[in-house]
Structure 1
Amino acid sequence: MANASAKRIGVLGYLLFIRHILQAEASQNEIAIRNLFYGQVGANVLALVLRLFFSKTSKTAIVFYVLSLGAGQFLYRQLVKMGTPRRDATGTLVSSGDDLNQPGMTEWFFDVLYVSWFAQVGSSVLGEWFWWIYAAIPGFVVFKLWGSFISPMLLGRSSSAAEAEDAAPESNLSKRQEKLKKRNERGDPRVKTQTRR
């Protein structure tokens, strides 16, 4: 009887812990979405105001601005759709949404969105050449692909992998065995060398 009660209390405690974790994740997502909204509105308003007062606007600047605005708005909407917590009619949390702090595509969405904001504001102050900052995105993708996929495919195994494999047989010794081996190499009389028959 006591074991059944303890198990129910354990399961109930576990469920309460999971609920607490989901609520914390939901509140983190709500804060991140609110910050994204402020960043999206702030960067675009600031870029427009600076462009009106500090630089002349050409057709190419308008085209680049509209393209970056479209890309930024698309990524902003995707992040909001992924991270928005869902609640039922009573306000109870149903789903905390996807974790917006996870690595991978979500992280890249944030990076491209930040580069878009930076390019919008920077080009309105420094000129149209600042749109070249977008070249950092495909450059970063090529860099990541080169290190993890292309280089090993073209060049075979990397030099660090070769060094790790060469060092592996000696690292199989325990610390005590390494210490005894060093003593034996120095000719320490405390180490007795045994010959196997």
Structure 2
Amino acid sequence: MAKQAFKTLAQKNSQTLNRTHLIALGVNTFYLLFAFIIFRKRSIYKYVLLNGPALVFEFWFERIGRPVYQDGELKRAGEDLEAKGLTEWMWDVVYWTWGNVVFVALVGDWAWWGMIVPVLYSVWSAWTTYTGMRQGMGGMMGGGDAGPEKQGATGGQSKRQAKMEKRGGQKMAYR
């Protein structure tokens, strides 16, 4: 019962990877069929260059997510392919690339400009992460504390501290 979670993850990963490979095979076959047989005016160089990241991510998912069995027993379930963060971003790039490859096959090579969207999304995501981290770490990095010009008349005190000082300071009560 203790390894049930690993078995479930291994089964889910296997299904996800198999489905991913089948979809990638279908999308790339569709493009190559259109590029070589129907239109004959598609750039294979652009196809290889701009479809490359999706293929690299797909093989990376295969490497980290495929469960490993030894003697019929589950040795390693693989990483969670539904994890947040970088894994989620890589899936977004794969899905966008598949859609763009189909779009290019249907309308032409000018549609490769659609691959600028994941790049812009990545830059925006990195920038917002960096600025959020910088604000969160403001006290440790020297960027979050206010200088003397920003502290105003209270000298960096809160309103409560300023009121208490105005009244004569905080009195200690001894019992």
TM-score by length of 2: 0.70
Give the drift of 1:148: 3.2
Q: Given the alignment of the two structures, is residue 129 of structure 1 paired with residue 113 of structure 2, yes or no?
A: no
Aligned residue for 1:43, secondary structure, equals helix
Whose Rg is larger?
1
In 2, Cα distance between the equivalents of 1:151 and 1:27? 36
Q: Given the alignment of the two structures, is residue 85 of structure 1 paired with residue 85 of structure 2, yes or no?
A: no
Q: Given the alignment of the two structures, is residue 71 of structure 1 paired with residue 71 of structure 2, yes or no?
A: no
In 1, Cα distance between the equivalents of 2:77 and 2:98? 27
In 2, Cα distance between the equivalents of 1:153 and 1:39? 40
Q: Given the alignment of the two structures, is residue 144 of structure 1 paired with residue 125 of structure 2, yes or no?
A: yes
Rate the CA distance shift 1:51–1:21 in 2: closer, same or farther, 3 A: same
Residue 41 of structure 1: which of 25, 37, 40 is its match? 25
* Equivalent position of 1:62 in the other structure: 44
In 2, Cα distance between the equivalents of 1:95 and 1:153? 37
TM-score by length of 1: 0.63
- Corresponding residue pairs, total: 138
Structure 1 stretch displaced more, 136-145 or 126-135: 136-145
* Equivalent position of 2:8 in the other structure: 24
RMSD: 2.3
8 Å CA contact 1:55–1:125 kept in 2: the answer is no
Structure with bigger helix share is 1
Q: Which runs of 5+ in 1 are unaligned?
A: 1-15, 158-197
User: 1:43 is matched by which residue type in structure 2?
Assistant: V
Give the drift of 1:37: 0.7
Give the drift of 1:153: 5.3
8 Å CA contact 1:54–1:124 kept in 2: the answer is no
8 Å CA contact 2:50–2:115 kept in 1: the answer is no
Q: Given the alignment of the two structures, is residue 101 of structure 1 paired with residue 82 of structure 2, yes or no?
A: yes
Q: Percent identity?
A: 24
Q: Which runs of 5+ in 2 are unaligned?
A: 136-142, 145-175
